[in-house]
Structures are given as C-alpha cells and as structure tokens.
Amino acid sequence: MKLKNCININDLREAAKTRAHKMVFDYIDGGADDEKTLARNSSAFDDYELLYRVLSGVDSPDLSTTLLGQKMDVPFILSPSAGNRLFHTEGEYGPAKAAEKIGTVYSLATLSSVSIEDIGTATNGPKWFQLYVWKDRGLVKEMLDRAKAAGFTAMFLTVDLPIAGNRERDPKNGFTIPPKIGPKQVWHALNAPHWTMDYLFSPAIRYANLSSASTAATLNDFVAAQLDAGFNWDDAEWLLGEWNGPTILKGVVRADDAIRAERVGFNAISISNHGGRQLDTSPAPISCLEPIREAVSDKTELIVDGGIRRGTDVLKAIAMGANAVSFARPYLYGLAAGGTEGAIKSVEIIRDAIKRDMILLGAQKITDIDRSFIKSI
C-alpha cells in the first residue's frame, strides 16, 4: 500500500510490512511469548463505550493540554523507541520532526540510532530523554548531563525491562543491532528492495549514544550485559537527585507501585507494559488506569501508553483520568512505511481523529472530558 493511500494506522502498518525487511517489521510489530498482552493492549479499549452528548454546539474543539508544565497542541506524546534508523534511514529525525510539526513532545530513547546531541539540534520542539539504568553509574550520569546540555527537559525512567522479554519473532529472524547478515537476512532483503537499498547506501546502524565499537548482539544478550536488573527504589531516588528536574516513571501497572513512585518524588507515571513486549499476560494499561488514578493525588500526572490506534482510544483514556496518552508503534509504522513523511502522517491521522471524535462526543476542550462520557461494558 502506498503512503498516500493510508487513511488509518492499520493502513500504515500494512505499508510498513510491505516496505520493511521482515526482521525489522517483526521487531516493531511483535510482542512477548504468545503475544496475548500485545493483542489485549488494544482490545481492552473495547471494554468501554463513549456516551456522547448532543446539541453541544462544538464545531472547533480545543485539543491542547499541558503535561509536566509543557503546553502541547494535542493530548498525546511520542513514546521513546530504540534503533529507529533500522526501520528507515531517516531514523529518529522522522518522529522528532513529526512531534515538532504537530506541537507535542518527542521522547528520545537511550538506545537511539541518532545521538542525543544531533536530535537536540534537529528540532526546536519539546524533548524528553528516556533512560535505562546501566550497570556503569558513571555512564548514567554522563547521559543525563548530555541530555540536559542538549535541551531535554524531562527524564523518562523505564523500569519494566530488568531483562528482555521473550520476543520469539526476533530470534526466529536472527534480529540483532547492528544487523548481522546471513542467508535468511539476504532472502528477506530481496523481498524488501527499498529498505535494502537504504540500508546498503547509508552509514552503519548502531546505538549512537554508546561506543562506536558496539558489536552485533541479540537484545537478550545486550540487556543482560549492560543493564542493571538489581536497580531498586533506593536507586531510583538517587537518580531523581542526579537529574533534579521533571521525571516520569514508565512501566507501572500496579496502584501500590504508583503510590510509592509519587512518594519517592516522580512527577508523572506512564502506565505501560512495554507494548506487550515484556511479561505476557500482564494487564492492558487502560484497565490499570482508574485504580491508579484513585490511588495517587491529582498532582501526579498519568500517561497511558499501549494499544493506542484511534482517536476514540485517546478520548477514553482522558475520560478515565489520564492527563495524556503516548504511543510508539503508530509512528514507527509510519516511519518504516515512508520515513519522516510517514511519521508525520501517523500523528496527523490520530490528531485529526481526535478532533473529529471530540465534535461527535460533544466536548469543546480536552479538560471537559470526564468519567460521565464513559460506560463500562
């Protein structure tokens, strides 16, 4: 499917599947084990219906909101995701420019394929930095210092990846970063000529924030060697002191963890199961939202991350107590399908859907949307 013919996120997914190498598409698209959580992340939105109001006089709704004091033109941000140059040669530049164009926050991953500094100069839009916790605490501090210097204003601490989940598509495809080429990869490359030409005539793909000497490794091996599975709440408190700025804890599904995060000092919580890529049969984020909203104070802002594909998904999350939502797969499908243009198209699809659905819902402003608009099935 051509990019110009894509009218929804699933269309972009099909376009990405056609253009990208199989190991690349499956890395974006796949989840852990039997992928039950992956499927449930989206289907759980079907447990709720929207109770629209009539004769509300809404013809030009206001989609803007704030998150951690940052004004945004839409009620969503772009989640961090690793290694974007593997999906398209334009890499993290694509979603960063898409976020700037649409007036929202871009979150850069620790394991990005474009450096902190290069993204810092590539966009004037608001930027947050996602952090994994390395065994080398000196490297942690160095990355935070680099992010501050490059204009990143908040820290996204991801805590649901102490080890890599069992993502079975990846070993079947021989997935590594940087890619390690064998007969299977060559065969799939022949079936993805546009991706292959980009790959062959572009600089080598690597984790740009790490040593240039990084060798090809599976995700399981890399995480086991580099990330600190022993990181705990005391360490998180230390990290808050090192950053000394707005912070989001990403990967929470339990109310008691949310309460502790608030007490430790996190400003916001991203309710997330890592896109269904870690512990299979964990709950969908949307189903965890209301218990967490009831458990923490209003000063702690909540982001729902997982399963967002439609404008109605966004409005349901807002109605149930989220301050905003975030997503990665929709813009990654767009990026893989058509580079920066595709990433921009993905966020515009969701923005335009929210605007249309707010008119149909009878809500003039994002802040007007509350629990009265939701019915649990």
Q: Within 13 Å and on the Cβ side, how many CA atoms surround 110?
A: 21
User: Cα–Cα distance between 279 and 377 in angstroms, integer?
Assistant: 26
Q: Where are the domains of the chain?
A: 3-376
Distance CA 271, CA 41 (A): 11
CATH topology of domain 3-376: TIM Barrel (3.20.20)
Task: Output the pTM of the full model.
Answer: 0.95
Residue 203, CA distances (Å) to 113, 197, 198, 208 in order: 11, 12, 9, 12
The pair phi, psi for residue 209, each rounded to 5°, is: -90, 0
Nearest residue to 107 (alpha-carbon basis) of 86, 82, 73, 71 = 82
CA 220 – CA 224 distance, rounded (Å)? 6
In this structure, which amino acid lies at residue 215? Answer: T
For 295, the token pair is: 């458990």
Please confirm, yes or no, whether 274 is among the known catalytic residues: yes
Burial 344-353 (b: 16+ CB within 10 A, else e): bbbbebbbeb
Residue type, 66: T
Q: Is 61 in contact with 74 (CB distance < 8 Å)?
A: no
Whole-angstrom distance, CA of residue 321 vs CA of residue 374: 11
Check: CB of residue 116 under 8 Å from CB of residue 145. no
Round to whole Å and give the CA distance between 343 and 101. 11
Q: Which residues pair with 130 in a beta bridge?
A: 156
Q: Are 303 and 286 in contact (CB under 8 A)?
A: no
- Per-residue pLDDT tens listing for the chain (377 residues): 789 999 999 999 999 999 999 999 999 999 999 999 999 999 999 999 999 999 999 999 999 999 999 999 999 999 999 999 999 999 999 999 999 999 999 999 999 999 999 999 999 999 999 998 888 888 889 999 999 999 999 999 999 988 889 999 999 998 876 677 778 888 888 888 999 998 888 998 888 998 655 555 566 677 777 788 888 999 899 999 999 999 999 999 999 999 999 999 999 999 999 999 999 999 999 999 999 999 999 999 999 999 999 999 999 999 999 999 999 999 999 999 999 999 999 999 999 999 999 999 999 999 999 999 999 99
Do β-strands 76-78 and 70-72 pair in parallel, antiparallel, or remain unpaired?
unpaired
In the numeric block, which tokens belong to residue 224?
């086991």
Task: Say which of 21, 88, 188, 274 is annotated catalytic.
Answer: 274
What is the helix (H) or strand (E) element at residue 352, kind and residue range?
helix 329-361
- Take residue 274 and report the two structure tokens written for it: 């890592």
CB 368, CB 75: distance < 8 Å? no
Q: CA-to-CA distance for 253 and 303, rounded, in angstroms?
A: 11
